[in-house]
Structure 1
Amino acid sequence: MLLFIVRSAWIFAGMNPLVLSEGNFHIVVSDGELSPIKLAVKTLQRDFKSVMGFCPSIVSIPTGREAGITELIIVNESTADSNVNKSELRPLDGFESHRLYTDASAKRIYLIGKDMRGTIYAIYTFSEKFLNVPPLWFFSSWKPQKKEQIEIPCNLDYFYKSPQVRYRAWFPNDTELFTPWRQRTVQNNEAWLETMLRLKLNTVEMEQTVTYSDYKLEESVSLLHKYGLILSSTHHTACNNNLVAWKEYWRKVRGITPPKLLLSDEKSLREFWQYSIETVCRCEQENLWTIAFRGIGDQPYWAAFEDAPIGEKERAEVINRMLRTQLEMIKERTGNPNPFVRVTFYDELSDLLAKGYLKPPVGDNILWTFVAARRDHYPNDDIVSFDTATRVKLGYYMNFQFTSTGAHLAAAEGPWKMEFNFRYVNSRRPLALSVVNAGNLREFVMELSANASMMWDMTAYDTDEFLYDFCVQYFGENHAEEVMQLYRDYYHAYWEQKNAEFPGLERQFIFHDLRYARVFKQIGERFEHFSPNPLKDIVRERVPGRSFRIEGSNQVDSLLSGMERTFGKFDKVAQRCTELMPRLLEQYRCFFRDNLSAPCHYMAALSHSLYHFLWAYKYIERRTEHLNLSIEYLEKAQEMLYSTQHGVFTDWYVGDSLHGKFNIPAKLKQLYKLRDRYGKTEM
């Protein structure tokens, strides 16, 4: 929550604002301050350089008002070594709260935080409010508007209370674009972490991070420590480790042949977990513990343990016992009787919980983390049936993208759907953890920004208000309402292949681009044998029909009708984007193209392409003509995406052509072969 306090006018009667210009101010930060705060101060220096053309000096001790120089004083209340009298500072709230205020008579501007991250947030808030550096400066290809001086009101007092949601996380998953791009430069590798802090997020979710045999965490965790972010783990990663590493532990740490995975050998399981817990503690990485009991990788434990029971109730009782064991081990090693610990109800755990068999630990700092339904993203049965009297806090995990059937190369869920999901969960019990899975990140930065805003202050958050402010910041006030409407119409252009079932939720079921990809692949592999219902569920689909969720008795006809409706909608929004582009100021056009216009054109062309592909599949006459049109539109879809490759994002789509979840080049190759085959038969 932001409280903007205007001090009594009589105190400042006749006083001018504090003016910052080259040579008349410096930044004050204690030598004993934590390294993530010092890194943020260096970043603030860089922001000044971008906007004003110079780097202000950094000193460790205030010079005093007699020096006649204005001072930006950075204070972390939790640091023992301080350069100011903390008793004289204005009050703060709880964890991560922060404040920006002026003491005009002393020519001081205070950027203070309750703790390390609160202080970092204060620094980046100053940069956003007064240097106009937006949180998404990197992802929006922001160009600074040069300033010779900056005026700070003499009665400035921005006060941000503690966030409502304690842990606010990103989970970059399925990153075939993001990973190779990150490897190119140091900036690419780290900029997203700075972006998280500018958005006031605090946690990164990762897969297993424990290594062997020297009690070390993966090198990637060092970046979280560098930036001051919290580490958390996925739903199948118990105590920061996974049974994928079972054999490696016994060989590298113990130097023995790995024992078999057996429920009856709980002693070996405890030893495996003990090493993982010890590793996290020795590394002193701030960590949100995960307790879990699943199999090798992302599978139920009964797929890996030969002595696993068969009945659901008995299977749940094993999980209950293992979760309690891990929790007690964490308490014992950390010496904390009430640590923050999460358990995530994914897939089979969600089912067992909904049936009342799974009984995870409870407590004031236990976070029961629910997961949006598979394939489509809405509150699942387990949170709907959750007993609100249970003494736990809640977490919620939602995909903006999805590995198998979701949005991937273009955003699809939208911030309104995000708000509905998180508000529903928070209505059941207070929310303490938010995790959003956004894969390659770049495609979803608007939705991610909305989530970050909501998780700080759910009471005040409203998606329409957020989106208007977002459009003002990134596209200018003159066209903010117009861009806002384009965003809304873009999301509503997606085909809703099944009517909503969850009360009050719009767009519960939509046809994401990875569903398009699966239709191309499955039908393309059996193109010569027409069937009105050619689509099959993905391997190991646990709910029949969930992979596509196409209503009607004829999949092909439903798809043809759906594509015709949806490409008409996307065409109209894409045309409006084209018309608006030249009316935007030059500084806003790049991000408008990258985040809205290009994805809209991509989805329009992709829908046309699939429509003509299905026409060629169903009808023999003019088959080659329609395959040619399918190719033409898919090439256009690719062209629209590739138009966003520029500057630091050059070659962004290299990963899609190598091992991408969509892999447009592979789909085009498939279409070329079909066109060549049927073109010859029609000659």
Structure 2
Amino acid sequence: MSNAFKREMNLSGKVLIYAVEPHSTAIAHVLRMLKRDLTAVLGIEPEFAADPRQAQIRIGLAGENDSCPAHPEAFEFRFVSDEVSVLHIVGRDELGVVYGVLAFSRKFLGIQPFWYWMDQEIKSRSEVMIPCVDYASSPRKVRYRGWFVNDEVCLIGWKPEYPPTREVWEPVFEALLRSGGNMVIPGTDLPRHGIHYELASEMGLWVTHHHAEPLGAEMFARAYPGREMSYLREPERYEQLWRQAIEEQRHRKVVWVLSFRGQGDKPFWEDDPSFDTPFKRGELIGQVMQKQYDMIREYVEDPVCCVALYGEIAELYQEGWISLPENTIRVWADNGYGKMVSRRRDDINLRIPSLPGIKDSGRHGLYIHVTFHDLQASNHLTMFAGSADFLKSELEAAFAVGASDYLILNSGNIRPHAYPLDIVSTLWNEGTIDTKEHLQSFVRSYYVSEHEALARLYHSYAEATLPYGPHPDDLAGEQYYHHPARQIIGHWLQGKEAESDRRLDWAVGAGSFEQQVKAFEQRLAPAIDKWKNWLEQCDGTLAKLGAEDRQRAEDHLRFHGELHLSGSEGFYQLCRSYAAHRLGQYPQAFVLASESLRHYRRGLDALRAAEHGKWADFYRADWLTNIASTVQNVDTLRKVLRMHGDSPDFFLWYKQYLMPETEKHIYLENTHREPLTDDDLAARLKERLFTDAGCPIDVDRK
């Protein structure tokens, strides 16, 4: 090495890159990313040199005598100098090269993993100075790590094409790779002709499967409509679907999911009730998994296989009824809220620990959620309700008992969940996290100013969430304000008020319907105050930000708080409306239902406000939380309430409460025929019937 070796390398103007050929599709993709990143920062598109001696950056696979670490996916930065300094980015394998290039972009160009999803403001520079310090990567904590892009309705509905095209999927897979992920379940039950699996493989990712779609095979009921869904009676047809899936994927990097559930993600014995004992059920599942494993080995040498210990399969396995093929990774699932215990089913919440025990040898992994959809209290549009310290505690504890071979993270629609996704990626890379340092780094990576204030908002977000139950993870996402509310409206308008609504027992117990609604009201009141306070702090910080930072904070902080506040206020006023209705005070019930509607409409306004620029229509397909459906339900409710006393002319409440006394007995009916709209009538009745504090003048709320 020359004595002229420089301590810093200067990149400016047109950078020349040499990439050793032949290179794979994954390396071609990452070179395209590097070209885009350099152009964004330096303002001039780089060129790929034909002669390595001309290049400032040389990229390629490690040679036999190379110093690159030997572990899978390793990379190194090595600086060599003669006349000028040259950076060699060397990867042990395909993904090693990919991670090396993306680490260069992050470390020296400032391109963050969620630059696309957070609308990062890329800082342009005339030159980039790079310290000439060699670097070698360390092994990641988790061997197979990635996202389950599940409940992905926003991604599905964002663009007019279905299934989603490359335009939608490429930013998803790029963010995953930049986060150190190497594995993906790209969507849920999407049409088989879609690009999602092909593109994921093309970009270098391992693909794996939903636990309801073993081996990634087509659903039996879809392939053979009308046939009896019984493996005992139709083994050849089931096995043909599995064989076809194996043949289609044999040349990809696949983590094969062994499983046997019923069609539509349910226990198979719901379609085949002859399996009426745990022994029969566990025996068949074990036999099927062994058959699947043996079939894979016909095509793939040393396949990587896993089984999701989810739902009934987890129970049967833990009770000793299922035996698994050799060396299969056992994947333990959280409850949907980040806690490593069994999932709540309706109002049954046993919270059985879901981690390997002392006697559980072999390989283990995790299936966890930072977003969830369960028709109860989950977060789908809003950020994970728990704290960064909670995620740290759960994952570090799981790693400590050996569950670190595999981690699949339910990532939802990516954009609303960037911060918790970044937390988990730090954990799957490093095995631990300093949550305070991470938060400071995250905020500084994506915002230009007011870092301390923004960090406080991200930190206090979890503190503002509504605790709906006795456990630390019983924290409400935005679905809490919508699914139970619509259930209450349906139960109410169907005339079932005399009986309890069992669907609400999980949240408020099994009292009378009136008691159930009152219990929700009592839980919601303090949540409103907390979210108002949080949003006041948020607005104070936003007022100090520049235009781009302000928009970013609107989308990734205020948006979430507004969905919580508008939802909690809407649900609270709905409960008060029912209380007035029970007392026969229909005008007051109508006003309170209209107040509920006004708040829920703010949630829709928040969705629309977040759909600016490239995000146009991003929340168009909000079909799971479905704020629009809640708005329609509440609007229907208040129209029904108006019929109690204002029908059929819809002028009676105006005459009773709003018309001047001097006019009531002398007006001519044929000059007063246009009824007020629901909104106008509600606004005027509110002014007449309610105090400044918002309480009905004649309704006892105790």
Into which bin does the TM-score normalised by the smaller protein fall? 0.7 to 0.9
1:39 counterpart = 2:5: no
Distance 1:534 1:126, change over 3 A: farther
Instruction: Give the deviation of 1:677 after TM superposition.
Output: 2.9
Tell me what 1:123 maps to. Answer: 101
Tell me what 1:370 maps to. Answer: 332
Distance 1:407 1:549, change over 3 A: farther
- % identical equivalent positions: 20
Tell me what 1:434 maps to. Answer: 407
User: What letter matches 2:168 in structure 1?
Assistant: N
Distance 1:169 1:425 in 2: 16
Instruction: Give the deviation of 1:487 after TM superposition.
Output: 1.4
Contact residue 263 and residue 305 of structure 1 kept, 8 A: no
Provide structure 1 residue ranges, at least 5 long, that are not aligned to the other structure: 1-9, 64-68, 78-84, 252-256, 501-506, 539-544
Q: Choose from 388, 402, 405 the match for 2:372.
A: 402
Tell me what 1:592 maps to. Answer: 553
SS of 1:435 mapped into structure 2: strand
Distance 1:442 1:388, change over 3 A: same
Instruction: Give the deviation of 1:576 after TM superposition.
Output: 0.8
Instruction: Give the deviation of 1:208 after TM superposition.
Output: 8.0
Tell me what 1:448 maps to. Answer: 421
Q: Choose from 201, 218, 224 the match for 1:225.
A: 201
1:341-379 CA-partner distances (Å, limit 9, x unpaired): 10001111122123232232342xx21001112577443
Contact residue 166 and residue 195 of structure 2 kept, 8 A: no
1:314 counterpart = 2:285: no
SS of 1:583 mapped into structure 2: coil
Q: Choose from 55, 58, 71 the match for 2:56.
A: 71
Tell me what 1:149 maps to. Answer: 127
Q: Choose from 463, 467, 471 the match for 1:496.
A: 467
1:493-540 CA-partner distances (Å, limit 9, x unpaired): 11111111xxxxxx31122222221122111113355859854338xx
Q: How many residues align?
A: 623
Distance 1:270 1:598 in 2: 48
Instruction: Give the deviation of 1:182 after TM superposition.
Output: 4.7
Distance 1:552 1:536, change over 3 A: closer
Instruction: Give the deviation of 1:312 after TM superposition.
Output: 1.4
Tell me what 1:7 maps to. Answer: none
Tell me what 1:617 maps to. Answer: 578
SS of 2:17 mapped into structure 1: strand
SS of 2:341 mapped into structure 1: coil
Contact residue 229 and residue 271 of structure 2 kept, 8 A: no
Distance 1:566 1:665 in 2: 22
Distance 2:186 2:110 in 1: 32
Tell me what 1:21 maps to. Answer: 12
Distance 1:310 1:445 in 2: 44
Provide structure 2 residue ranges, at least 5 long, that are not aligned to the other structure: 343-350, 647-652, 654-702
Tell me what 1:509 maps to. Answer: 474
Tell me what 2:687 maps to. Answer: none
Tell me what 1:237 maps to. Answer: 213
Distance 2:73 2:598 in 1: 52
Tell me what 2:518 maps to. Answer: 557
User: What letter matches 1:19 in structure 2?
Assistant: N
SS of 1:277 mapped into structure 2: helix
Q: Choose from 179, 183, 187 the match for 1:203.
A: 183
Tell me what 2:323 maps to. Answer: 359
Aligned pairs (5 A) from 1:94-109: 94-105=71-82, 106-109=84-87
Larger radius of gyration: 2
Tell me what 1:640 maps to. Answer: 606
Instruction: Give the deviation of 1:153 after TM superposition.
Output: 1.2
Distance 2:629 2:198 in 1: 37
Contact residue 277 and residue 330 of structure 1 kept, 8 A: yes
Distance 1:334 1:668, change over 3 A: same
SS of 1:161 mapped into structure 2: coil
User: What letter matches 1:371 in structure 2?
Assistant: A
Distance 2:301 2:70 in 1: 27
Contact residue 236 and residue 292 of structure 1 kept, 8 A: yes
Distance 1:135 1:352 in 2: 39
Distance 2:411 2:499 in 1: 31
Distance 2:228 2:488 in 1: 45
Instruction: Give the deviation of 1:473 after TM superposition.
Output: 0.8
1:292 counterpart = 2:270: no
Aligned pairs (5 A) from 1:517-556: 517-527=482-492, 531=497, 534-537=500-503, 545-546=505-506, 548=507, 554-556=515-517
Contact residue 355 and residue 403 of structure 2 kept, 8 A: no
Contact residue 48 and residue 131 of structure 1 kept, 8 A: yes
1:190 counterpart = 2:156: no
1:165 counterpart = 2:142: yes
Instruction: Give the deviation of 1:424 after TM superposition.
Output: 2.8
Tell me what 1:5 maps to. Answer: none
Distance 2:97 2:144 in 1: 17
1:617-642 CA-partner distances (Å, limit 9, x unpaired): 12234212212211121122222232
Distance 2:187 2:542 in 1: 41
Distance 1:274 1:532 in 2: 55
Tell me what 2:455 maps to. Answer: 484
Q: Choose from 604, 608, 617 the match for 2:569.
A: 608
Is the deviation greater in 368-377 or in 573-582? Answer: 368-377
Contact residue 186 and residue 196 of structure 2 kept, 8 A: no
Distance 1:171 1:128 in 2: 24
Distance 1:199 1:374, change over 3 A: closer
Distance 1:676 1:61 in 2: 75
Distance 1:549 1:62, change over 3 A: farther
1:279 counterpart = 2:248: yes
1:347 counterpart = 2:296: no
1:462 counterpart = 2:411: no
Contact residue 29 and residue 61 of structure 1 kept, 8 A: no
Give the root-mean-square deviation of aligned CA atoms: 2.8
Instruction: Give the deviation of 1:575 after TM superposition.
Output: 0.9
Distance 1:612 1:560 in 2: 8
1:114 counterpart = 2:81: no
Distance 1:259 1:669 in 2: 39
User: What letter matches 1:195 in structure 2?
Assistant: A
Distance 1:30 1:70 in 2: 11
Query: TM-score w.r.t. structure 1 length?
Result: 0.85
SS of 2:52 mapped into structure 1: coil
Instruction: Give the deviation of 1:418 after TM superposition.
Output: 2.7
Q: Choose from 619, 627, 632 the match for 1:664.
A: 627
Instruction: Give the deviation of 1:586 after TM superposition.
Output: 3.7
Contact residue 100 and residue 159 of structure 1 kept, 8 A: yes
1:304-350 CA-partner distances (Å, limit 9, x unpaired): 336x42111221111111112221222232233xx321000111112
Tell me what 1:417 maps to. Answer: 390
Distance 2:36 2:366 in 1: 36
Distance 1:534 1:118, change over 3 A: farther
Query: TM-score w.r.t. structure 2 length?
Result: 0.83
Distance 1:428 1:242, change over 3 A: farther
